[in-house]
């Protein structure tokens, strides 16, 4: 009996939860309204079945509960009833499958007018490439990847010479303009997922995958990586900004980096920052670098440890290294930690930090930024 | 009620069925690798291996082992045929090891080309199954020494060996005879 | 027939309980081991929930640990708990008793199977203690990630995981050979295939599926070991990992996914089919009514088994495989819903006009139907390729597979344990504790997983260590997560009630008598309870009817055991006649 009541209560609370849930899709920002429609049809059908089944069980439990002297009916089979049920199920399935397949046919057929952009995944950051004036993307290969060619462009391919390279994790697209997004990865699987767009695709090293959509609402949307890609997976963040035409043109006009102009910024000699308190310009440059180079995927600007140690209060602290020795975190320590990753390992962490391309000046900026996160810059008091 | 399941002595029929099931499982195992082989051989870096002459001789020894076991299963002169079968099987395994050695000294290393990797993987897996068969053969020899009746055991052993021979012939053709393109068509590509 | 096994009845403690070849002892060994690793997985899940519900509050759970917990939790639950418990535990115990055999046909192989399984478990647990810890690659172990340094445990951890899986597969194959051969060859006189209880059908088809699906996992494990240890490039394309170009070249990560899911999808049904069978038998017995549409139920099991080999790529809609596959796999996936629905209808129609005893096993069986239905229905969202797009790899998926292959099979297992415990021990489990256990587990599971679907629809991705500062995730989602965590902790804690009940009842439980539930199927008709070595005493039983002759009109008792020679009920009642 209690079970009947609980089943009915479950159904009622499920319906109420559904009705009042503040958790639901984010507002649609692409042309894939049909996905939402198919989802709603599916929800309607499955919801009805869910309610019907549970209520039927509850009713049976009450109506046919054991009573003394009562016996169950003896009914091995009922072919007619079963045939009806199968037919009904078939109809329900078809009602969900048919719209689903129609939408899918569109999903895998990008219109020829679609603009093409490329997103590149790497543990744990996003980069982008747009075709230059020739409207074509040049070919790429992992084996071309190097400090001066982090996108792996084929130097011999003339189509790639004017490609626009974007090293920040943010890209713009134009509203109401269909766009086909090519996806590439240089290390492991990733997945380009922007929930308001509804559609998405994995990024697979060794191949180029793609999907398409037409953004329909201007705004700034978050890109999530939705395929486990290692320990920094949850922090692999990016943004896609949907602009109107003028906004998009303005943004595009500012993107000027091509393979030729990518050569890493000239190496400045070490600035005179020994002893002096770091300048705010340097600090904010460091902060920007921490974002754009993906450091924040693993290091939080607080004390809490992520994949790597948190940065707040780090400077001036005595760190216990793997193996038990202690080391004072000073400028030299940080420089080594950044430029020769994993040379010294803090206890409790994995040797997973990548070597990131930075010139001396950028390293200084990062150090300045990390230093600024410790409340008392000059303090060398040992804290655990 | 016509009842085919009357209390039958379980041992013989059950062992035969058990062997068939085992053969089915091993077949699926090899087919999976061959399917993977077909998919992988589609890539541009694929370089086919040359067939070693030694492998032909090894095929022959495996064939002889199979024939010897068949003789042991059907004839009365069981002992000698059984011994010969074991000998041939050992010869096959040693031959395979030598083949590995020759491949290696010819510069076809495991990690070199995916075709090499598959060669070592497939021959290795097959070798392990032959080794398993040899263990069964050894148990049979011990039972024979103890004077037990090994008629049905020998028959099962023979059947397993024929199967191993078939698997080997399949592997040999996949590795050296069938062109990858044909294989991809057969396996439905990837 | 003589009773030859009797001479070999074991005498010492060691041969009786440790190196035992008796299927009943091996079943108990499998069950205890599986429950023990299952507890590890449960604790891991609660640790993960602590991090998600109260991020940062438990400093020792860092991102590395989180991913290791996710992976080990998932793998242990699916393989080492559920598969081992259904096939090694229930299969071993019930098959010989239900078909009327004295033991499995290859008892030695059966023993070996258990020890191999134990070895696999030990190797797996060993990975907690190697440098770098266990692998954190997710239970799907997708390369290239699984063997590259950005993933925790990409050294010894992943190697031990793959080795352990390979050993497990050998163990499962040894067991599987036995189960299939025993069902097909060692049935007693009169036990035709169409008189087998659905439990045996479920386990038989699941075993055949396991035998055909596990090789794919074996192959992928071995090939990945080659890639990891010998530097081959089966699955590894050229990559630049952590700024370093590696020597791999040309391999295909998607090939691995095909192999993995060729195993992985059937695996869902390897777990589900035995649960279907067990639940069918529990519902029929405790509703005192024959299972509705037996023949249809058998065919549904077989058809599901066959179809589930052609749906695997529904896990790969967004993997980058050839997009045209989507049409095929979406269609097959939704078609499989039809035989699955038939099973549900027939459970409901068995309850209908029954004489329902709400015993503890029955509570769990009904709980199974309810949770399986919700998991099956959400599967329609994920199987239908376009609706999968926004939901793939979100918490919707987590909620879906927990309902369909986490909670519901576990409920079936609990139901089965409460039901057959008196068979194994001769004692009943405590009823009050059993009910307490049921209510908390059942209602708690809904509390955990029902809201989780909504987080998925919102777009919360799975396998995320933390969700800080994502603008599209409202703060209320965090509160919901905290609620889910509390529910998970409560459910986790209440499993202790079950363990206590399980252990205590073995000594203090009420003696059960030989057939406490009035069950018609053969396993309850042994001369001794619990059955002795050889199960049947001097003579094998003879079977005269199907196992579902409950409430047969005219019969005195409300059930006729399979061994009964009564002219009532029986096969004549079973044929498919339209009844008004
Ligand atoms: C109280 C019971 C359980 C709780 C609280 C629980 C909780 C969780 C959580 C929090 C995750 C990780 C979600 C993520 O970060 O993506 C997870 C993953 C998983 N769970 Fe459970 N779980 C439970 C029982 C089970 C059972 C019985 C199974 C058996 C099938 C299971 C199978 C899995 C699998 C396969 C994964 C995926 C692992 C992966 O993503 O690699 N869980 N569970
Ligand atoms: Cu990721
Ligand atoms: Cu599946």
Give residue B131's pLDDT.
95
pLDDT band at residue C77 under the 50/70/90 scheme: very high
Query: Which CATH number belongs to the domain containing residue A331 in this structure?
Result: 1.10.760.10
Write out the two tokens for C46: 């609660």
Instruction: Confirm whether A249 is domain-assigned.
Output: yes
Give residue B188's pLDDT.
63
Contact B21 C223 (CB under 8 A): no
User: Per-residue b/e over A233-259, b at no fewer than 16 CB within 10 Å?
Assistant: bbbbbbbbbbbeeeebeebeeebeebb
Could you tell me if A142 and C240 are in contact, meaning their C-beta atoms sit under 8 angstroms apart? yes
Strands A179-185 and A115-122: parallel
Task: Give me the number of domains chain A comprises.
Answer: 3
Q: Are residues A286 and A348 in the same domain?
A: yes
* Closest ligand relative to C309 C-alpha: 3
Residues B78-98, mean pLDDT to the nearest whole number: 91
Q: Which of residues 232-271 of C touch A (CB under 8 A)?
A: 237-245, 250-254
* Closest ligand relative to C161 C-alpha: 1
Write out the two tokens for A299: 């290091």
Contact B110 C184 (CB under 8 A): no
pLDDT in tens, B128-144: 999 999 999 999 889 88
Q: Which of residues 283-342 of C touch A (CB under 8 A)?
A: 287-290, 292-296, 318-320, 323-324, 326-327, 330-331, 334-335, 337-338, 341-342
Q: Are residues A120 and A245 in the same domain?
A: yes
Contact C234 B36 (CB under 8 A): yes
Q: List the chains bordering chain B where 3 or more Cβ pairs fall under 8 Å.
A: C
Which of C50, C61, C74 to mutate to test ligand 1, by most ligand atoms within 8 A of the CB atom? C74
pLDDT in tens, C145-190: 999 988 999 889 999 999 999 999 999 999 999 999 999 998 999 9
Give residue A350's pLDDT.
72
Query: Which CATH number belongs to the domain containing residue A236 in this structure?
Result: 2.60.40.420
CA of residue C73 to ligand 1 center, whole Å = 6
Residue C183 touches partner B, C-beta closer than 8 Å: no
Instruction: Confirm whether A86 is domain-assigned.
Output: yes
Q: How far apart are CA C550 and CA C569, in angstroms?
A: 9
Q: Are residues A121 and A247 in the same domain?
A: yes
pLDDT in tens, C486-515: 999 999 999 999 999 999 999 999 999 899
Instruction: Give every strand in the sheet of A237-243, ordered side by side.
Output: A170-174, A237-243, A219-225, A190-193, A200-203
Contact C189 B114 (CB under 8 A): no
Residues C5-24, mean pLDDT to the nearest whole number: 72
Q: What are the structural domains of chain C?
A: 20-233 (1.20.210.10), 519-574 (no CATH)
Q: How far apart are CA C51 and CA C63, in angstroms?
A: 10
For residue C516, the number of C-alpha atoms closer than 13 Å in the C-beta half-sphere is: 22
**Among C516, C568, C531, CA closest to C546:** C568
Instruction: Confirm whether A10 is domain-assigned.
Output: yes
Give residue A275's pLDDT.
37
Question: Ligand 1 pocket by C-beta < 6 Å: which residues?
Answer: C 42, 45, 48-49, 70-71, 73-74, 77-78, 82, 138-139, 398, 402, 405-406, 410, 448, 462-463, 488, 491-492
Q: Are residues A298 and A194 in the same domain?
A: no
Give residue C179's pLDDT.
96
Q: Are residues A90 and A136 in the same domain?
A: no
The angle subtended at Cα B161 by Cα B160 and Cα B165, nearest 5°, is 120
Give residue A276's pLDDT.
39
Give residue B13's pLDDT.
86
**Which of the pair, A57 or B77, is modelled with greater confidence?**
A57
Instruction: Confirm whether A306 is domain-assigned.
Output: yes
Could you tell me if C266 and C212 are in contact, meaning their C-beta atoms sit under 8 angstroms apart? yes
Give residue A264's pLDDT.
56
Decide if pLDDT at B190 tops 90.
no
Q: Are residues A238 and A133 in the same domain?
A: yes
Helices (H), A192-310: 245-254, 280-292
Write out the two tokens for C106: 């290859």
Residue C573 touches partner A, C-beta closer than 8 Å: yes
Strands A209-213 and A179-185: antiparallel
Whole-structure pTM value: 0.89
Query: CA gyration radius for chain B?
Result: 19
Query: Which CATH number belongs to the domain containing residue B176 in this structure?
Result: 1.20.120.80
Q: How far apart are CA C417 and CA C421, in angstroms?
A: 5
The CA-based dihedral angle spanning residues C23, C28, C34, C37, taken in that order and rounded to the nearest 10 degrees: -140
Give residue C7's pLDDT.
45
Residue-averaged pLDDT of chain C: 91
Of the candidate ranges A347-351, C114-118, C248-252, the one whose mean pLDDT is the lowest: A347-351
Give residue C454's pLDDT.
95
Residues of A in contact with C342 (CB under 8 A): 82, 85-86, 89
pLDDT band at residue C61 under the 50/70/90 scheme: confident
Give residue A291's pLDDT.
66
Q: Are residues A216 and A279 in the same domain?
A: no
Give residue C571's pLDDT.
65
> Which residue in chain C has the smallest CA separation from A107?
C386
Instruction: Confirm whether A378 is domain-assigned.
Output: no
Instruction: Confirm whether A298 is domain-assigned.
Output: yes
Q: Which of residues 103-162 of C touch B (CB under 8 A)?
A: 105-106
> Which residue in chain C has the smallest CA separation from B26?
C215
Of the candidate ranges A254-268, B147-161, C82-96, C395-409, the one whose mean pLDDT is the lowest: A254-268
Residues of A in contact with C477 (CB under 8 A): 23
Contact C540 B110 (CB under 8 A): no
**Among B37, B187, B174, B184, CA closest to B118:** B37
Q: How deeply is B101 buried, as exposed, middle or buried, from its count of CB atoms within 10 A (0-12, 13-18, 19+)?
A: exposed
* Most B-contacting residue of C204, C233, C323, C539 (CB-CB within 10 A), to test interface: C233
Residues of A in contact with C360 (CB under 8 A): none
Distance from CA of C231 to the nearest CA of B (A): 5
**Chain-centroid distance, C-alpha A203:** 11
Phi and psi dihedrals of C240, rounded to 5?
A: -110, 105
Distance from CA of C405 to the nearest CA of A (A): 17
Instruction: Confirm whether A263 is domain-assigned.
Output: no
Of the candidate ranges B57-61, C55-59, C362-366, the one whose mean pLDDT is the lowest: C55-59
Q: Are residues A286 and A243 in the same domain?
A: no
Q: Which domain holds residue A285?
A: 270-373
pLDDT band at residue C575 under the 50/70/90 scheme: very low
Residues of C in contact with B39 (CB under 8 A): 252, 255, 258
Q: Which domain holds residue B180?
A: 3-186
List chain A pLDDT tens, one digit each, 384 residues: 789 999 999 999 999 999 999 999 899 999 999 999 999 989 999 999 999 999 999 999 999 999 888 888 888 888 889 899 999 999 989 988 998 899 999 999 999 999 999 999 998 889 999 998 888 899 999 989 888 888 999 888 888 888 999 988 899 999 999 999 999 999 999 999 999 999 999 999 999 999 999 999 999 999 999 999 998 899 888 999 999 999 999 999 988 888 877 765 444 333 333 333 446 667 767 776 776 666 777 787 777 677 788 887 788 788 888 777 888 888 888 888 888 887 778 877 777 777 777 778 888 888 888 887 775 433 333 333
Q: How far apart are CA C488 and CA C433, in angstroms?
A: 19
Q: Are residues A343 and A367 in the same domain?
A: yes
Give residue C243's pLDDT.
78
Task: Give me the number of domains chain B comprises.
Answer: 1
Q: Are residues A225 and A133 in the same domain?
A: yes
Contact A352 C242 (CB under 8 A): yes
Which of C402, C446, C447, C485 to mutate to test ligand 1, by most ligand atoms within 8 A of the CB atom? C402
Q: Are residues A209 and A276 in the same domain?
A: no
Percent helix, strand and coil across chain A, each to the nearest 5: 35, 20, 45
pLDDT band at residue B46 under the 50/70/90 scheme: confident
Q: Is A206 left (phi over 0), alpha (psi -120 to 50) or beta?
A: left
Which of C406, C411, C466, C493 to mutate to test ligand 1, by most ligand atoms within 8 A of the CB atom? C406
Q: Which of residues 500-539 of C touch A (CB under 8 A)?
A: none
Percent of chain C at pLDDT above 90?
80
Q: Which of A3, A71, A76 sits opposite C573 (nearest CB)?
A: A76
What's the Cα-to-Cα distance from A183 to each of A126, A128, A243, C392, rounded to whole Å? 11, 9, 21, 17
Q: Are residues A60 and A131 in the same domain?
A: no
Instruction: Confirm whether A260 is domain-assigned.
Output: no
Decide if pLDDT at C36 tops 90.
yes
Decide if pLDDT at C17 tops 60.
yes
Residues C275-298, mean pLDDT to the nearest whole number: 94
Residue C491 CA: nearest ligand 1 atom is 1
CA of residue A188 to ligand 2 center, whole Å = 9
Contact A199 C558 (CB under 8 A): no
Give residue B184's pLDDT.
81
């Amino acid at each position: 009996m209690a079970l009947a009541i609980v089943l009915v209560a479950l159904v009622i609370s499920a319906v109420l939860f559904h009705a009042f849930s503040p958790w639901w899709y984010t507002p649609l920002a692409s042309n894939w309204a049909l996905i939402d429609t198919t989802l709603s049809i599916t929800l309607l059908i499955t919801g009805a079945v869910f309610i019907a089944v549970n209520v039927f069980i509850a009713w049976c439990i009450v109506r046919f509960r054991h009573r003394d002297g009562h016996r169950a009916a003896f009914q091995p089979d009922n072919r007619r009833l079963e045939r009806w049920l199968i037919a009904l199920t078939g109809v329900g399935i078809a009602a969900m499958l048919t719209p689903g397949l129609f939408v899918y046919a569109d999903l895998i057929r990008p219109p020829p007018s679609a603009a093409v952009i490329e997103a590149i995944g790497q543990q744990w950051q996003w980069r982008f490439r747009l075709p230059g004036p020739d409207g074509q993307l040049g070919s790429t290969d992992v084996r071309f990847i190097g400090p001066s060619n982090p996108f792996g462009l084929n130097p011999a391919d003339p189509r790639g010479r004017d490609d626009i390279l974007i090293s920040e994790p943010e890209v713009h697209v134009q509203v109401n303009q269909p766009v086909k997004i090519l996806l590439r990865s240089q290390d492991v699987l990733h997945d380009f997922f922007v929930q308001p767009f509804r559609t998405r695709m994995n990024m697979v090293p060794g191949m180029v995958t793609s999907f398409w959509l037409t953004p329909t609402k201007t705004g700034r949307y978050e890109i999530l990586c939705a395929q486990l890609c290692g320990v920094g997976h949850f922090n692999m963040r990016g943004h896609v900004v949907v602009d109107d035409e003028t906004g998009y043109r303005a943004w595009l006009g500012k993107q000027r980096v091509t393979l030729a102009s990518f050569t890493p910024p000239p190496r400045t000699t070490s600035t005179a920052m020994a002893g002096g308190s770091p300048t705010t310009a340097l600090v904010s440059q460091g902060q920007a670098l921490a974002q754009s180079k993906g450091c924040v995927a693993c290091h939080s600007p607080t004390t809490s440890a992520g994949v790597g140690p948190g940065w707040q209060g780090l400077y001036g602290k005595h760190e216990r290294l793997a193996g038990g020795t202690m080391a004072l975190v000073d400028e030299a320590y940080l420089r080594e930690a950044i430029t020769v990753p994993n040379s010294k390992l803090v206890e409790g962490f994995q040797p997973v930090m990548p070597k990131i391309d930075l010139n001396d000046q950028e390293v200084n900026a990062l150090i300045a930024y990390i230093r600024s996160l410790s409340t008392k810059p000059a303090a060398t008091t040992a804290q655990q | 009620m016509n009842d085919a399941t009357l209390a039958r002595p379980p041992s013989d029929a059950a062992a035969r069925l058990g062997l068939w099931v085992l053969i089915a499982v091993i077949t699926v195992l090899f087919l999976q690798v061959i399917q993977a082989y077909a998919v992988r051989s589609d890539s541009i870096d694929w370089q086919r291996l040359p067939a070693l002459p030694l492998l032909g001789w090894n095929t022959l020894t495996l064939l002889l082992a199979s024939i010897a076991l068949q003789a042991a299963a059907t004839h009365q002169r069981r002992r000698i045929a059984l011994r010969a079968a074991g000998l041939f099987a050992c010869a096959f395994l040693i031959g395979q090891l030598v083949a590995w050695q020759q491949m290696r000294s010819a510069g076809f290393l495991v990690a070199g080309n995916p075709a090499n990797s598959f060669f070592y993987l497939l021959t290795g897996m097959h070798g392990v199954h032959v080794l398993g068969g040899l263990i069964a053969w050894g148990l049979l020899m011990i039972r024979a020494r103890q004077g037990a009746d090994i008629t049905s055991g020998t028959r099962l052993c023979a059947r397993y060996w024929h199967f191993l021979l078939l698997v080997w012939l399949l592997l040999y053709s996949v590795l050296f005879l069938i062109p990858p393109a044909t294989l991809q068509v057969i396996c439905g590509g990837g | 027939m003589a009773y030859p096994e009797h001479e070999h009845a074991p005498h010492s403690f060691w041969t009786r309980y440790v190196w035992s070849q008796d299927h009943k002892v091996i079943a108990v060994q499998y069950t205890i081991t599986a429950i023990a690793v299952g507890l590890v997985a449960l604790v891991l899940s609660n640790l993960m929930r602590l991090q998600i519900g109260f991020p940062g509050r438990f400093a020792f759970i860092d991102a590395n640990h989180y991913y290791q917990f996710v992976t080990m939790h998932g793998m242990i639950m699916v393989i080492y708990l559920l598969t081992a418990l259904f096939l090694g535990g229930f299969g071993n115990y019930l098959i010989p008793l239900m078909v009327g055999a004295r033991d499995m046909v290859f008892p030695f192989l059966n023993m070996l199977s258990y020890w191999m399984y134990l070895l696999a478990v030990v190797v797996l647990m060993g990975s907690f203690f190697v440098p770098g810890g266990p692998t954190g690659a997710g239970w799907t172990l997708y390369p290239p990630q699984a063997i590259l340094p950005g993933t925790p445990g990409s050294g010894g951890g992943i190697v031990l995981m793959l080795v352990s899986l390979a050993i497990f597969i050998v163990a499962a194959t040894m067991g599987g050979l036995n189960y299939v051969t025993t069902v097909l060859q060692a049935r007693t006189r009169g036990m035709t295939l169409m008189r087998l209880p659905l439990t045996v059908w479920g386990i038989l088809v699941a075993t055949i599926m396991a035998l055909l699906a596990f090789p794919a996992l074996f192959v992928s494990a071995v090939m990945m070991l080659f890639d990891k240890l010998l530097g081959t490039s089966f699955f590894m394309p050229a990559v630049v990992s952590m700024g370093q170009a590696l020597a791999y070249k040309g391999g295909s990560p998607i090939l691995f996914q095909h192999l993995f899911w060729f195993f992985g999808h059937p695996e869902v049904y390897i777990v589900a089919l035995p649960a279907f069978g067990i639940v069918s038998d529990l519902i029929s017995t405790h509703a005192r009514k024959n299972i509705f549409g037996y023949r249809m139920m058998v065919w549904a099991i077989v058809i599901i088994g066959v179809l589930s080999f052609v749906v695997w790529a529904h896990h790969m809609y967004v993997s980058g495989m050839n997009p045209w596959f989507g049409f095929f796999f979406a269609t097959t996936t939704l078609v499989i819903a039809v035989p699955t629905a038939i099973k549900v209808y027939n459970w409901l129609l068995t309850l209908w006009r029954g004489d329902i005893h709400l015993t503890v096993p029955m509570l769990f069986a009904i709980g199974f139907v309810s949770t399986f239905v919700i998991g099956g229905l959400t599967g329609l969202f994920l199987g239908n390729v376009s609706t999968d797009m926004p939901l793939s790899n979100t918490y919707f998926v987590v909620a879906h597979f927990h309902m369909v292959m986490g909670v519901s099979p576990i409920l079936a297992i609990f139901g089965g344990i409460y039901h057959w415990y008196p068979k194994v021990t001769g004692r009943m489990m405590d009823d009050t504790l059993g009910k307490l256990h049921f209510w908390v587990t059942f209602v708690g599971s809904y509390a955990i997983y029902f809201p989780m679907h909504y987080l998925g629809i919102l777009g919360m991705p799975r396998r995320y260590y933390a969700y800080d500062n994502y603008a599209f995730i409202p703060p209320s989602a965090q509160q919901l997560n905290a609620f889910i965590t509390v529910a998970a902790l409560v459910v986790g804690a209440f499993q202790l009630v079950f363990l206590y009940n399980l252990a205590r009842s073995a000594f203090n439980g009420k003696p059960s008598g030989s057939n406490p539930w009035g069950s018609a199927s053969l396993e309850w008709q042994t001369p001794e309870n619990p059955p002795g070595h050889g199960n049947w005493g001097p003579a094998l039983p003879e079977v005269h009817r199907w196992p579902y002759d409950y409430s047969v009109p005219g019969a005195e008792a409300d059930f006729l055991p399979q061994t009964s020679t009564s002219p009532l009920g029986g096969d004549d009642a079973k044929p498919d006649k339209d009844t008004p």
